[in-house]
Protein backbone atom coordinates (compact mmCIF):
# COMPACT_ATOMS: atom_id res chain seq x y z
CA UNK A 1 0.00 0.00 0.00
CA UNK A 2 1.54 3.33 -1.02
CA UNK A 3 1.43 6.41 1.20
CA UNK A 4 -1.28 8.11 -0.87
CA UNK A 5 -3.59 5.09 -0.54
CA UNK A 6 -2.82 4.83 3.17
CA UNK A 7 -3.72 8.44 3.93
CA UNK A 8 -6.84 8.20 1.77
CA UNK A 9 -7.93 5.19 3.83
CA UNK A 10 -7.24 6.99 7.10
CA UNK A 11 -9.29 10.01 5.91
CA UNK A 12 -12.16 7.73 4.85
CA UNK A 13 -12.27 5.97 8.24
CA UNK A 14 -12.09 9.29 10.09
CA UNK A 15 -14.80 10.80 7.89
CA UNK A 16 -17.17 7.87 8.35
CA UNK A 17 -16.68 7.77 12.12
CA UNK A 18 -17.42 11.49 12.38
CA UNK A 19 -20.70 11.40 10.47
CA UNK A 20 -23.82 12.34 12.37
CA UNK A 21 -26.82 10.17 13.03
CA UNK A 22 -29.60 10.69 10.47
CA UNK A 23 -33.25 10.59 11.49
CA UNK A 24 -33.51 6.89 12.24
CA UNK A 25 -35.42 5.28 13.80
CA UNK A 26 -38.41 6.71 11.95
CA UNK A 27 -40.95 8.63 13.96
CA UNK A 28 -44.07 6.88 15.25
CA UNK A 29 -47.49 8.11 16.31
CA UNK A 30 -49.14 6.34 19.26
CA UNK A 31 -52.52 4.85 18.32
CA UNK A 32 -54.00 5.49 21.76
CA UNK A 33 -52.06 8.29 23.47
CA UNK A 34 -52.35 8.30 27.24
CA UNK A 35 -52.48 12.07 27.54
CA UNK A 36 -54.67 15.01 26.61
CA UNK A 37 -54.18 18.74 26.73
CA UNK A 38 -55.75 21.84 28.22
CA UNK A 39 -55.64 25.36 26.80
CA UNK A 40 -54.07 27.58 29.45
CA UNK A 41 -54.35 30.83 27.50
CA UNK A 42 -55.55 31.53 23.96
CA UNK A 43 -55.48 34.52 21.64
CA UNK A 44 -51.71 34.55 21.01
CA UNK A 45 -50.84 34.21 17.35
CA UNK A 46 -47.14 33.28 17.56
CA UNK A 47 -46.20 32.50 21.19
CA UNK A 48 -42.42 32.63 20.80
CA UNK A 49 -41.06 32.58 24.34
CA UNK A 50 -42.31 31.49 27.78
CA UNK A 51 -40.94 32.13 31.27
CA UNK A 52 -42.65 30.90 34.43
CA UNK A 53 -42.70 33.03 37.59
CA UNK A 54 -44.94 30.49 39.34
CA UNK A 55 -47.08 27.66 37.99
CA UNK A 56 -50.00 30.09 37.59
CA UNK A 57 -48.08 33.23 36.68
CA UNK A 58 -45.90 33.36 33.60
CA UNK A 59 -44.73 35.54 30.71
CA UNK A 60 -45.33 34.90 27.00
CA UNK A 61 -43.90 36.80 24.06
CA UNK A 62 -45.95 37.41 20.92
CA UNK A 63 -43.67 37.77 17.89
CA UNK A 64 -45.60 40.78 16.62
CA UNK A 65 -44.27 42.78 19.59
CA UNK A 66 -46.41 42.09 22.67
CA UNK A 67 -45.26 40.72 26.01
CA UNK A 68 -48.05 39.21 28.11
CA UNK A 69 -48.19 38.36 31.78
CA UNK A 70 -50.60 35.45 32.25
CA UNK A 71 -52.10 34.95 35.70
CA UNK A 72 -54.77 32.31 36.30
CA UNK A 73 -55.44 32.12 32.56
CA UNK A 74 -55.89 35.88 32.09
CA UNK A 75 -53.33 37.73 30.01
CA UNK A 76 -52.28 41.33 30.57
CA UNK A 77 -50.06 43.28 28.16
CA UNK A 78 -46.77 44.35 29.73
CA UNK A 79 -45.79 47.94 28.96
CA UNK A 80 -42.34 49.50 28.67
CA UNK A 81 -40.87 47.30 25.94
CA UNK A 82 -38.13 48.79 23.77
CA UNK A 83 -39.06 49.50 20.15
CA UNK A 84 -39.43 46.14 18.39
CA UNK A 85 -38.50 45.77 14.72
CA UNK A 86 -40.87 43.22 13.22
CA UNK A 87 -39.91 41.78 9.85
CA UNK A 88 -40.23 38.28 8.45
CA UNK A 89 -39.15 35.83 11.15
CA UNK A 90 -38.06 38.65 13.44
CA UNK A 91 -39.86 40.49 16.18
CA UNK A 92 -40.18 39.91 19.92
CA UNK A 93 -38.50 36.55 20.49
CA UNK A 94 -37.46 34.91 23.74
CA UNK A 95 -38.00 35.87 27.38
CA UNK A 96 -36.15 34.42 30.38
CA UNK A 97 -36.02 35.18 34.10
CA UNK A 98 -32.80 36.11 35.86
CA UNK A 99 -31.64 33.19 38.06
CA UNK A 100 -32.30 35.46 41.07
CA UNK A 101 -35.61 36.82 39.77
CA UNK A 102 -37.35 36.30 43.12
CA UNK A 103 -35.11 38.95 44.67
CA UNK A 104 -34.35 41.32 41.76
CA UNK A 105 -37.38 40.96 39.38
CA UNK A 106 -34.97 41.07 36.43
CA UNK A 107 -35.74 39.42 33.11
CA UNK A 108 -34.13 39.21 29.68
CA UNK A 109 -35.60 39.41 26.20
CA UNK A 110 -34.26 38.96 22.69
CA UNK A 111 -35.88 40.94 19.90
CA UNK A 112 -35.42 42.43 16.48
CA UNK A 113 -34.45 46.06 16.94
CA UNK A 114 -33.06 49.10 15.17
CA UNK A 115 -31.38 51.63 17.44
CA UNK A 116 -29.09 53.11 14.79
CA UNK A 117 -31.73 54.97 12.78
CA UNK A 118 -30.78 53.37 9.46
CA UNK A 119 -32.82 50.80 7.55
CA UNK A 120 -33.44 47.23 8.65
CA UNK A 121 -32.76 45.59 11.99
CA UNK A 122 -30.93 42.85 13.83
CA UNK A 123 -31.22 40.75 16.99
CA UNK A 124 -30.62 42.39 20.35
CA UNK A 125 -30.56 41.25 23.97
CA UNK A 126 -32.09 43.42 26.72
CA UNK A 127 -32.49 43.20 30.46
CA UNK A 128 -35.31 44.88 32.38
CA UNK A 129 -37.00 44.91 35.77
CA UNK A 130 -40.59 43.66 35.89
CA UNK A 131 -42.85 45.71 38.13
CA UNK A 132 -46.32 44.19 37.94
CA UNK A 133 -47.22 44.56 34.28
CA UNK A 134 -44.58 47.19 33.47
CA UNK A 135 -40.93 46.96 32.46
CA UNK A 136 -38.53 49.40 34.09
CA UNK A 137 -34.77 50.00 33.86
CA UNK A 138 -34.64 48.56 30.34
CA UNK A 139 -31.00 48.07 29.34
CA UNK A 140 -29.50 47.05 26.00
CA UNK A 141 -26.87 44.37 26.65
CA UNK A 142 -25.92 43.35 23.10
CA UNK A 143 -26.97 44.39 19.61
CA UNK A 144 -25.91 42.43 16.53
CA UNK A 145 -24.81 44.47 13.53
CA UNK A 146 -25.13 45.43 10.75
CA UNK A 147 -28.84 46.00 10.25
CA UNK A 148 -30.47 44.39 7.25
CA UNK A 149 -33.93 44.32 5.72
CA UNK A 150 -33.70 40.57 5.23
CA UNK A 151 -36.43 38.86 7.20
CA UNK A 152 -34.86 35.49 7.97
CA UNK A 153 -32.75 33.81 10.63
CA UNK A 154 -32.83 35.99 13.75
CA UNK A 155 -32.45 33.12 16.30
CA UNK A 156 -33.00 33.27 19.31
CA UNK A 157 -33.23 31.63 22.76
CA UNK A 158 -31.80 32.61 26.14
CA UNK A 159 -30.22 30.04 28.50
CA UNK A 160 -28.35 30.36 31.82
CA UNK A 161 -25.49 28.07 32.83
CA UNK A 162 -25.83 28.44 36.61
CA UNK A 163 -22.34 29.94 36.78
CA UNK A 164 -23.19 33.59 36.25
CA UNK A 165 -23.44 33.50 32.45
CA UNK A 166 -26.16 33.56 29.84
CA UNK A 167 -26.19 32.26 26.29
CA UNK A 168 -28.23 33.53 23.36
CA UNK A 169 -28.16 32.88 19.63
CA UNK A 170 -28.39 34.97 16.49
CA UNK A 171 -29.02 33.37 13.09
CA UNK A 172 -27.00 34.16 9.99
CA UNK A 173 -29.58 36.83 9.01
CA UNK A 174 -29.78 35.51 5.47
CA UNK A 175 -26.10 36.20 4.79
CA UNK A 176 -24.60 32.72 4.90
CA UNK A 177 -21.59 33.57 2.76
CA UNK A 178 -20.18 36.16 5.16
CA UNK A 179 -21.58 35.98 8.68
CA UNK A 180 -21.36 32.44 10.13
CA UNK A 181 -17.67 31.74 9.46
CA UNK A 182 -16.31 35.25 10.19
CA UNK A 183 -15.48 35.86 13.84
CA UNK A 184 -15.40 39.58 13.16
CA UNK A 185 -19.06 39.65 12.15
CA UNK A 186 -22.26 39.04 14.05
CA UNK A 187 -24.74 36.44 12.86
CA UNK A 188 -24.59 32.65 12.78
CA UNK A 189 -23.24 32.64 16.33
CA UNK A 190 -24.04 31.66 19.89
CA UNK A 191 -22.90 34.27 22.40
CA UNK A 192 -22.00 34.14 26.08
CA UNK A 193 -22.22 37.13 28.43
CA UNK A 194 -22.08 37.73 32.15
CA UNK A 195 -25.51 38.42 33.60
CA UNK A 196 -24.81 42.18 33.62
CA UNK A 197 -23.97 42.12 29.91
CA UNK A 198 -20.20 42.28 30.27
CA UNK A 199 -17.84 39.89 28.44
CA UNK A 200 -16.56 36.88 30.42
CA UNK A 201 -12.77 36.90 30.62
CA UNK A 202 -12.61 33.24 29.60
CA UNK A 203 -14.71 33.50 26.44
CA UNK A 204 -12.95 31.52 23.69
CA UNK A 205 -12.14 34.47 21.40
CA UNK A 206 -11.66 37.21 23.95
CA UNK A 207 -7.95 37.53 23.07
CA UNK A 208 -8.29 37.09 19.31
CA UNK A 209 -7.72 40.31 17.41
CA UNK A 210 -10.71 41.46 15.40
CA UNK A 211 -13.09 38.84 16.83
CA UNK A 212 -16.40 39.65 18.48
CA UNK A 213 -15.52 38.97 22.10
CA UNK A 214 -18.98 37.70 23.06
CA UNK A 215 -18.86 34.76 20.61
CA UNK A 216 -19.02 31.31 22.22
CA UNK A 217 -19.47 29.17 19.07
CA UNK A 218 -19.93 29.88 15.37
CA UNK A 219 -20.89 28.36 12.03
CA UNK A 220 -24.62 28.30 12.84
CA UNK A 221 -27.54 28.86 10.48
CA UNK A 222 -30.52 29.65 12.71
CA UNK A 223 -30.52 28.47 16.33
CA UNK A 224 -34.14 28.52 17.51
CA UNK A 225 -33.92 26.06 20.40
CA UNK A 226 -31.46 25.93 23.30
CA UNK A 227 -31.52 24.25 26.67
CA UNK A 228 -29.11 23.10 29.35
CA UNK A 229 -28.96 19.36 30.00
CA UNK A 230 -30.10 19.05 33.63
CA UNK A 231 -27.65 16.24 34.43
CA UNK A 232 -24.51 17.03 32.44
CA UNK A 233 -24.84 20.82 32.29
CA UNK A 234 -24.04 20.73 28.56
CA UNK A 235 -25.63 23.30 26.26
CA UNK A 236 -27.87 21.66 23.64
CA UNK A 237 -29.18 23.46 20.56
CA UNK A 238 -31.61 22.83 17.72
CA UNK A 239 -30.88 24.50 14.42
CA UNK A 240 -32.92 25.14 11.31
CA UNK A 241 -31.17 23.64 8.32
CA UNK A 242 -32.01 24.52 4.73
CA UNK A 243 -34.04 21.91 2.83
CA UNK A 244 -33.11 18.95 5.00
CA UNK A 245 -30.32 18.98 7.55
CA UNK A 246 -32.03 20.39 10.64
CA UNK A 247 -29.71 19.61 13.55
CA UNK A 248 -29.32 18.83 17.23
CA UNK A 249 -25.94 20.07 18.45
CA UNK A 250 -24.10 19.92 21.75
CA UNK A 251 -22.34 23.26 21.97
CA UNK A 252 -18.72 23.52 23.09
CA UNK A 253 -16.72 26.75 23.50
CA UNK A 254 -14.86 27.98 20.45
CA UNK A 255 -16.13 25.27 18.13
CA UNK A 256 -17.14 25.75 14.50
CA UNK A 257 -20.42 24.03 13.59
CA UNK A 258 -19.75 24.30 9.90
CA UNK A 259 -22.52 26.30 8.24
CA UNK A 260 -22.44 26.73 5.26
CA UNK A 261 -19.17 24.90 4.59
CA UNK A 262 -20.74 21.62 5.64
CA UNK A 263 -24.41 20.63 5.79
CA UNK A 264 -26.69 17.65 5.26
CA UNK A 265 -29.23 19.87 3.51
CA UNK A 266 -29.65 21.48 0.10
CA UNK A 267 -31.07 24.74 -1.20
CA UNK A 268 -34.85 25.09 -1.27
CA UNK A 269 -34.57 25.08 -5.07
CA UNK A 270 -33.09 21.58 -4.93
CA UNK A 271 -29.56 22.64 -5.88
CA UNK A 272 -26.60 21.71 -3.67
CA UNK A 273 -25.09 24.12 -1.17
CA UNK A 274 -21.86 22.17 -0.83
CA UNK A 275 -20.62 18.67 -1.56
CA UNK A 276 -19.22 18.41 1.98
CA UNK A 277 -20.95 17.01 5.03
CA UNK A 278 -17.74 16.91 7.09
CA UNK A 279 -14.50 18.88 7.06
CA UNK A 280 -11.53 19.05 9.44
CA UNK A 281 -12.03 21.45 12.33
CA UNK A 282 -15.82 21.50 12.02
CA UNK A 283 -18.24 19.84 14.41
CA UNK A 284 -20.76 17.19 13.43
CA UNK A 285 -24.32 17.43 14.73
CA UNK A 286 -25.41 14.88 17.27
CA UNK A 287 -28.40 14.23 15.00
CA UNK A 288 -29.99 15.59 11.84
CA UNK A 289 -33.43 15.43 10.28
CA UNK A 290 -34.16 14.80 6.59
CA UNK A 291 -36.72 16.01 5.67
CA UNK A 292 -36.58 19.13 7.82
CA UNK A 293 -39.05 19.30 10.69
CA UNK A 294 -38.26 23.03 11.28
CA UNK A 295 -37.27 22.56 14.95
CA UNK A 296 -38.21 25.30 17.38
CA UNK A 297 -38.01 25.31 21.19
CA UNK A 298 -36.59 22.35 23.09
CA UNK A 299 -36.45 21.07 26.65
CA UNK A 300 -35.41 18.02 28.65
CA UNK A 301 -38.07 16.49 30.88
CA UNK A 302 -37.17 15.17 34.33
CA UNK A 303 -40.62 15.28 35.90
CA UNK A 304 -42.35 12.45 37.78
CA UNK A 305 -45.66 13.54 36.22
CA UNK A 306 -44.79 11.64 33.02
CA UNK A 307 -42.87 8.54 34.20
CA UNK A 308 -42.50 7.05 30.71
CA UNK A 309 -41.06 10.30 29.37
CA UNK A 310 -38.56 10.99 32.12
CA UNK A 311 -35.14 11.90 30.72
CA UNK A 312 -36.45 12.47 27.19
CA UNK A 313 -35.83 15.48 24.97
CA UNK A 314 -38.81 17.36 23.51
CA UNK A 315 -38.53 19.46 20.35
CA UNK A 316 -41.25 21.47 18.61
CA UNK A 317 -41.86 20.97 14.88
CA UNK A 318 -43.13 23.89 12.87
CA UNK A 319 -43.31 22.16 9.48
CA UNK A 320 -45.10 18.97 10.55
CA UNK A 321 -47.10 20.51 13.42
CA UNK A 322 -46.31 18.25 16.34
CA UNK A 323 -44.14 17.99 19.44
CA UNK A 324 -41.38 15.42 18.99
CA UNK A 325 -40.34 13.16 21.86
CA UNK A 326 -36.74 12.08 21.42
CA UNK A 327 -35.47 9.14 23.46
CA UNK A 328 -31.69 9.10 23.85
CA UNK A 329 -29.26 6.44 24.97
CA UNK A 330 -25.60 7.43 25.30
CA UNK A 331 -26.33 10.50 23.14
CA UNK A 332 -27.81 8.35 20.38
CA UNK A 333 -31.43 8.73 19.32
CA UNK A 334 -33.14 5.36 19.84
CA UNK A 335 -36.81 6.37 19.56
CA UNK A 336 -38.89 9.21 18.13
CA UNK A 337 -42.56 9.81 18.76
CA UNK A 338 -45.15 12.41 17.77
CA UNK A 339 -46.85 14.06 20.72
CA UNK A 340 -49.92 16.19 19.94
CA UNK A 341 -49.85 15.11 16.29
CA UNK A 342 -51.32 17.71 13.89
CA UNK A 343 -51.86 20.18 16.73
CA UNK A 344 -50.44 23.13 14.75
CA UNK A 345 -47.07 24.83 14.41
CA UNK A 346 -45.32 24.15 17.71
CA UNK A 347 -43.19 27.16 18.51
CA UNK A 348 -41.95 26.39 22.00
CA UNK A 349 -42.01 23.83 24.81
CA UNK A 350 -41.21 24.47 28.48
CA UNK A 351 -41.39 22.46 31.69
CA UNK A 352 -43.28 24.55 34.23
CA UNK A 353 -42.40 24.72 37.93
CA UNK A 354 -45.28 22.26 38.54
CA UNK A 355 -43.54 19.68 36.35
CA UNK A 356 -46.04 19.83 33.49
CA UNK A 357 -45.11 20.34 29.84
CA UNK A 358 -46.39 23.61 28.38
CA UNK A 359 -46.43 24.00 24.61
CA UNK A 360 -46.73 27.20 22.58
CA UNK A 361 -48.75 26.56 19.41
CA UNK A 362 -49.26 29.18 16.73
CA UNK A 363 -52.86 30.35 16.50
CA UNK A 364 -53.85 28.44 19.64
CA UNK A 365 -51.79 29.86 22.50
CA UNK A 366 -50.30 27.90 25.40
CA UNK A 367 -51.34 24.28 25.94
CA UNK A 368 -50.67 22.07 28.98
CA UNK A 369 -50.12 18.35 28.40
CA UNK A 370 -52.09 16.32 30.95
CA UNK A 371 -51.50 12.57 31.49
CA UNK A 372 -54.60 10.41 31.61
CA UNK A 373 -54.97 8.47 34.82
Catalytic residues: 153
Q: Assign residue 101 a region (left: φ > 0; alpha: ψ between -120 and 50; beta: otherwise).
A: alpha
Q: Is the dihedral of CA 217, 223, 226, 232 positive or negative?
A: negative
Selection from 182, 239, 192 nearest residue 213 by Cα: 192
CB contact set of 357 (below 8 Å; sequence gap of 6+): 299, 301, 303, 306, 314, 323, 349, 350, 351, 368, 369
Residue 260: asked if its preceding bond is cis (omega within 30°), the reply is: yes
Question: CA 340, CA 362: separation in Å to the nearest integer?
Answer: 13
Question: CA 52, CA 48: separation in Å to the nearest integer?
Answer: 14
Selection from 245, 248, 246 nearest residue 227 by Cα: 248
Question: CA 365, CA 204: separation in Å to the nearest integer?
Answer: 39
The backbone torsions φ and ψ at residue 353, rounded to the nearest 5 degrees and listed phi first, read: -65, -15
Question: CA 258, CA 265: separation in Å to the nearest integer?
Answer: 12
Neighbour count for residue 11 (Cβ, 10 Å) = 11
Amino acid sequence: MNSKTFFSLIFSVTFLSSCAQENTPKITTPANPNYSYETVVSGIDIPWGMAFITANDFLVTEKSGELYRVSAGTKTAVTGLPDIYVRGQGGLLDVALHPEFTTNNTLYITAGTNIEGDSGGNTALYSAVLNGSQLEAVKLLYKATPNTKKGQHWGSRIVFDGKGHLFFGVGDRGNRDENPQDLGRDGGKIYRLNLDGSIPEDNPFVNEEGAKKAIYSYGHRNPQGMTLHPETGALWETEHGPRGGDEINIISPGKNYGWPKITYGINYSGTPITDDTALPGMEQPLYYWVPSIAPSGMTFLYSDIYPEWKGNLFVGSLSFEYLERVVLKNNTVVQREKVLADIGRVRNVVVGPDGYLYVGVEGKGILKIVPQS
